[in-house]
Amino acid sequence: MRRRVLLLVAATTTLVLVAFLVPLALLVKNVAADRAVQRATVEAQALTSLVATNDESSLAESVRQVDASSPYDVSVFVGGHVLGTPAGRSPLVALAQSGRSESGEVSGGREIVFSVDRPATSPAVIRTFVSDAALAAGVPRAWLLLGGLGVALLLVSLLVADRLARTFVRSTVDLAAVSHRLGRGDLEARADPAAPGELGVVATALNGLAGRIAEALREERETVADLSHRVRTPLTSLRMEADALGDPADAARIGAGVEAVNRAVTEVIQQARRRGAPAFADAAEVVADRVAFWSVLAEDTERTMTVDVAPGPLPVGLASADLEACVDALLGNVFAHTPNGTAFRVALAAQPGGAVLTVEDAGPGLPGGDVVRRGVSGAGSSGLGLDIVRRAAERTGGAVRFSRSALGGLLVVVDLLAPR
């Protein structure tokens, strides 16, 4: 934008300067030529009285002195002789001998002739020749000054335009920076409403939008927290009923389930309240913990589980609960969509700027269709598992990739980037 403003101002200023300076330069040239012609005319007219009254012998010395002191060539044609600067009888000289005074352009300059009547003889002719150099005396210097003035005006206009462009560009960059901060979840970011012109209007609208988003998210968090809190009442009732059971084993089993649901509800409340805040988790610790949890079920279903988790810490830009949900979704899909006894492998490795999580199995592979889209499933499930994985990866700035596993089934690779 700044470059375009400078180019526009440079083009406009150049056109204005050309339209102004070219006629002025031509005017300077014409004025200089007219001044030289006028001076030569005055000098020639000063000789008129001498030529009209003096004889040829006394006139020769006067013409010689005038020619020596004049910047122009002065000649007098009288009685068949040429006094002063030698010159040929040009058509203008011949015309002046017939009684007409004229001036005109000739090769190398301008010729001015005056016809002077002399008693009892033919008219004499005073000829003054002004060279092209004399006609253009001072013009190059004037043109140089005009060119310098034009360049100075162009530089000043570019300087002013650059200052203005910097102001607009700075305000635009600030708006973009605020937009990026809002996109990253920094809802406290605000633009400067004092930005020039329409940019200030956009900044005010962006600030209003940011405030409205923050208010909407706050209401959403409170609503989710409120709804989650209401679930605790029936959970408390279930826990009391579990404690009243006669069989201690059943009581312990149901109590453990109720406690797991209670922990999940508590995590939902905490997650809703911290939404938008910077997230951080040690991927090595979380993956190792979830693998240990699922290893019991793998043993019960006779599945061979291979685990290769790199030593931590491996920081990623995701909350621990969200990363746990991602790992659980991947491993839950393995158990839900492959037969008992199917081998699978879980690996976590470090990569520049984060970590990469790999889950592969020896099952039937990925069904057709866009199974990563929310609510879409190829096996009659809710279709939320892989969408949870996708959203978790994208929340860190990473992505999810699917391909054929070396074990024969599905290979899921999740790129998790470190917090910025």
- 7 with 118, same domain? yes
Q: Is 31 in the same domain as 100?
A: yes
CATH code at 259? 1.10.287
260 and 294 within one domain: no
Domain coverage including residue 304:
281-417
Q: Is the domain of 241 the same as that of 298?
A: no
* Spatial distance between the Cα atoms of 144 and 344, rounded to a whole number of angstroms: 85
Q: What share of the chain is helix, strand, coil (3-state, %, to 5)?
A: 60, 15, 25
Structural domain contains residue 180: no
Domains of the chain: total: 3
- Chosen domain end from 139, 161, 186: 139
Do residues 18 and 130 both lie within one domain? yes
Q: Are strands 344-351 and 305-309 parallel, antiparallel or unpaired?
A: parallel
Give yes or no: residues 371 and 270 share one domain: no
SS3 assignment, position 15? helix
- Asked if residue 305 belongs to a domain, the reply is yes
In a domain, 186, yes or no: no
The pLDDT score that the predictor gives to residue 337 is 86
Pair 319, 226 in one domain: no
* Tens of pLDDT, residues 24-69: 999 999 999 999 989 888 888 888 888 887 777 778 888 888 888 8
Examine the domain organization and report whether 227 and 255 are in the same domain.
Answer: yes
Give the CA angle between residues 169, 172, 173 to the nearest 5°.
85
Q: Quick check: 194 and 200 in contact, CB under 8 A?
A: yes
Chain segment 215-257, per-residue pLDDT in tens: 887 777 777 666 666 666 676 767 777 777 777 777 777 777 7
Task: Judge whether residue 377 has pLDDT over 50.
Answer: no
H/E/C letters for each residue in 341-395?
CCCEEEEEEEECCEEEEEEEECCCCCCCCCCCCCCCCCCCCCCCHHHHHHHHHHH
Domain at 355, CATH number: 3.30.565.10
- Give me the mean pLDDT over the 167-178 stretch: 81
